[in-house]
Amino acid sequence: MSAQPQPRITPEDYLAQDRAAEFRSEYYAGHVYAMSGGSWNHARIISNLNLRLRNALEGRDCSICLNEMRVQVSRDFYAYPDVLVVCGEPEFLDLRTDVVSNPLLIIEVLSPSTEAYNRGLKAQNYRRMASLREVVLVSQTEPRIEVYRRHSPVEWLLADSVGLDSTCRFDSIQCSMAASEIYENVKFDAE
């Protein structure tokens, strides 16, 4: 997310601008924020997640969307998750079918420049979505996957998978995935 917000606009104006724009942006409380580009590790992790999720969900009434599908988190917040899963019929904001409002699972791959935003404002708002059962934060600097699972309307539990030999479980879609599969062909910088 860019540090320089634009002047305050309405959600309707944001959607009109974003739909016509060459580059994606997110919207929060009247301000539009340009999305930053990703890294090689970021792209590899998303690709690996897509492959493994597609295999796990084969034959089921679920759809996977990668960082091109806008989500209406609330009237004042529109975002582009890295990965989202909808099971059953997707619910769209309008007939354009480019804004979904009922994801079951959202995955964000953390970048050094966006980690605070993804962990903070974005994850906090995601957890307010009635349809959402899990929010997953995947590090690209170390093998760590954090699964925040809805326990009750106001409680979320953390399942932390650390290391390439760990396994993470996505209860919302009833599947497990080895960290080594999520991080296949990902090289971590030696610190």
Helix and strand element counts for the chain (H, E): 5, 13
Token reading at 76: 């004042």
Taking the complete model, does pTM exceed 0.85, yes or no?
yes
Fold of 38-182: tt1808, chain A (3.90.1570)
Summarised one tens digit per residue, pLDDT across range 75-123 is 999 999 999 999 999 999 999 999 999 999 999 999 888 899 999 999 9
pLDDT band at 191 (very low <50, low <70, confident <90, very high): very low
Type of residue at 14: Y
Handedness of CA 118, 29, 15, 153 (dihedral sign): positive
| Neighbouring residues of 12: CB distance < 8 A, sequence distance ≥ 6 | none
Show me where the domains of the chain are located.
Answer: 38-182
